[in-house]
């Protein structure tokens, strides 16, 4: 009798582990929980936004197409603001360290280290599943103690890209270049 009790208890424990494990995996893979859990997932809109962010940053940083790029001090450590985008959508770009910060973190960094330029998405609009508009700026920020603190973030240049999905891939053309 004791032998059967142990088998029943072990079967119950093993079954519970399998049940809870599969529940967690299925929950984290759910499209209703993007970016949450052990296996982060993105819905199709988030995947498109992440791809547009990557393509735009590659054109701005790797290809150096954005006006004002020369204001970036350390090309290996690029600060990207979370304004108008979500942090988890910013991709990794080979050879670069993208430091993704919110507005308060950017100001704290400027207060500690002095002024610097960073990238800020002013607009990221998916107009439909095949068309999008992305506007990216380089903004210069200063410490609160700076003589220019009353000015706030100063522009370093930017561009607007119009993207169209062709054969399942986003292709973009620079539509406007903004120079402060």
User: Do 93 and 133 reside in the same domain of the chain?
Assistant: yes
pLDDT digits (tens, 9 = 90+) for 86-131: 999 998 888 889 999 999 999 999 999 999 999 999 999 999 989 9
User: Do 75 and 157 reside in the same domain of the chain?
Assistant: yes
User: Do 11 and 67 reside in the same domain of the chain?
Assistant: no
Give CA torsion, residues 134, 138, 144, 147, to 10 deg.
-130
Whether residue 62 is predicted with pLDDT greater than 50 in this model: the reply is yes
Its domain, for residue 126, covers 44-178
User: Do 3 and 14 reside in the same domain of the chain?
Assistant: yes
User: Do 55 and 88 reside in the same domain of the chain?
Assistant: yes
Whether residue 34 is predicted with pLDDT greater than 50 in this model: the reply is no
pLDDT band at 23 (very low <50, low <70, confident <90, very high): very low
pLDDT digits (tens, 9 = 90+) for 63-87: 999 998 888 888 878 999 999 999 9
pLDDT of residue 154: 54
Q: Which residues contact 105 (CB under 8 A, 6 or more apart)?
A: none
pLDDT of residue 7: 73
Q: Which residues contact 14 (CB under 8 A, 6 or more apart)?
A: none
User: Do 89 and 36 reside in the same domain of the chain?
Assistant: no
Tell me if 180 sits within 8 A of 155, measured CB to CB: yes
pLDDT digits (tens, 9 = 90+) for 148-180: 544 544 557 999 999 999 999 999 998 878 776
């Amino acid at each position: 009798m004791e032998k059967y009790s142990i088998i029943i208890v072990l079967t119950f424990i093993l079954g519970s582990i399998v049940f809870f494990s599969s529940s967690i995996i299925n929950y984290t893979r759910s499209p209703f929980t993007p970016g949450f859990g052990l296996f982060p997932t993105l819905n199709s809109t988030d995947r498109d936004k992440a791809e547009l962010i990557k393509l735009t940053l590659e054109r701005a940083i790797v290809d150096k197409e954005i006006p004002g790029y020369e204001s970036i001090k350390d090309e290996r450590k690029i600060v990207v603001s979370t304004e108008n985008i979500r942090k988890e959508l910013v991709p990794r770009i080979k050879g670069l360290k993208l430091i993704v910060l919110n507005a308060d973190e950017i100001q704290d960094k400027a207060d500690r280290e002095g002024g610097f330029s960073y990238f800020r998405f002013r607009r990221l609009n998916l107009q439909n599943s095949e068309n999008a508009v992305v506007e990216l700026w380089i903004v210069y920020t200063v410490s609160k103690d700076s003589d220019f603190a009353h000015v706030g973030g100063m522009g370093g240049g930017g561009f607007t890209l119009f993207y169209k999905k062709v054969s399942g891939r986003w292709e973009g053309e620079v539509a406007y270049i903004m120079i402060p």
